[in-house]
Amino acid sequence: MRSATIFLMLDTEVRATELKDVLRRSLGHEVVSLAAIGGGRNSRVYRLADAASGQYAVKVYFRHGADDRDRLGIEYASLSFLWEHGFRCVPRPIAVDRDYGCAVYEYIEGTRIASPEETADDVAAAVRFLNDLKRLSGERESLQLPPASEACFSGRAVSENVGQRLLRLHGAAASHALLCAFLDREFVPLRDEIVRWAQGRFRTYDLSWEDEIPLAARTLSPSDFGFHNALRRDRADIVFLDFEYFGWDDPAKMIADFLLHPAMDMSVSLKRQFMAGVLTVHHATFHQRVECLYPLFGLKWCLILLNEFLPEHLERRGFANGHKLDRNDLQSQQLAKARAMLDRLKREYERFPYRSH
């Protein structure tokens, strides 16, 4: 059905000739070739070759009136900050054109790390990177950086964030009977059960549900971190990508998101290795906070997986893909993924499976 297909809007189309002119001005060289190499859910990515034999990655960011997040500004500034502080496991930022909404980065020659092909060495590299970010968090200059996207620093804030996402989806559910049934009959009952459980665990561990964790307990975080956003170079080192949501965050979210991310299917042993490694730079009892908040972030992931039912998210997904999308098929797939995540939470939330023994 034509109504079930999403087409790119004219004002979001990337015109190759315009983009080449922008990049020529930014780099100071003629553009020899520009080829699409894919993208995430929020942007398009191209491989550029210039007349000086330089190879670059060009990222064109989606912009929408309903989304006020400065993805371009956050990512370019974050990578610049990390390069200034000696991080070399991230792409080097080279040039930016804010008017056109694009940035030029070092081109990373590497291969995707397909799940479940991650290794113990890969996990060790991820742990080193996050622990280095925690150490960088103690530097004075880091205080100038903003909070990560949707950063929540208390149990109450995480629960409220889930509620806000649920409210937005309920607004879209009126025209989607299957989504409405899933939210009302499956998601909401388990949400209420998990929130009560988490509040009880906070009391058991003598943690405050209401109070935000202090600055010293926070960390700098990519916020969408995992091997789905990484490349392995020929010399086996890993480069981490995608810093559109970078900023200050609760380390519990950073850990929970890595363990829960639906794009990764790592073994339990590797997840335990990850958690044990990251916890070495945090307070000895920080694992208690992770265990309390883990199912709440799982609930959030259920709702993130349903973003394709929201018009602005569906439009952004179409922009990033660069071609038409079958809306009904895509939404059906995402609903199945959300149900799978909810089923996983039912099994795991009372018996956190990733604490090393």
**Residues in CB range of 48: below 8 A, 6 or more apart:** 23, 31, 33, 34, 54, 55, 56, 57, 58, 104, 107
| CB-CB contact of 318 with 330 (8 Å) | no
pLDDT of residue 143: 95
- From the list 106, 77, 82, 86, the residue with the least C-alpha distance to 94 is 106
pLDDT digits (tens, 9 = 90+) for 77-101: 999 999 999 999 999 999 999 999 9
CA dist., res. 274 & res. 259, Å (int): 9
CA dist., res. 112 & res. 55, Å (int): 19
Evaluate the CA torsion angle 41, 42, 44, 47 in order and state its sign. negative
pLDDT of residue 3: 32
Instruction: Say what percent of the chain tops pLDDT 70.
Output: 91
CATH architecture of 2-348: Alpha-Beta Complex (3.90)
* Mean pLDDT score across all residues of the chain: 90
Q: Which helix (H) or strand (E) holds 93?
A: strand 93-97
CA dist., res. 266 & res. 118, Å (int): 7
Instruction: Give the pairing of strands 230-232 and 43-50.
Output: unpaired
pLDDT digits (tens, 9 = 90+) for 25-61: 999 989 999 998 876 667 899 999 998 888 999 999 9
CA dist., res. 264 & res. 267, Å (int): 10
pLDDT digits (tens, 9 = 90+) for 164-183: 999 999 988 888 999 999 99
Distance of CA 140 to the CA centre of its chain: 26
pLDDT digits (tens, 9 = 90+) for 172-221: 888 899 999 999 999 999 999 999 999 999 999 999 999 999 999 999 99
CA dist., res. 66 & res. 107, Å (int): 31
pLDDT digits (tens, 9 = 90+) for 8-35: 333 444 477 889 999 999 999 899 999 9
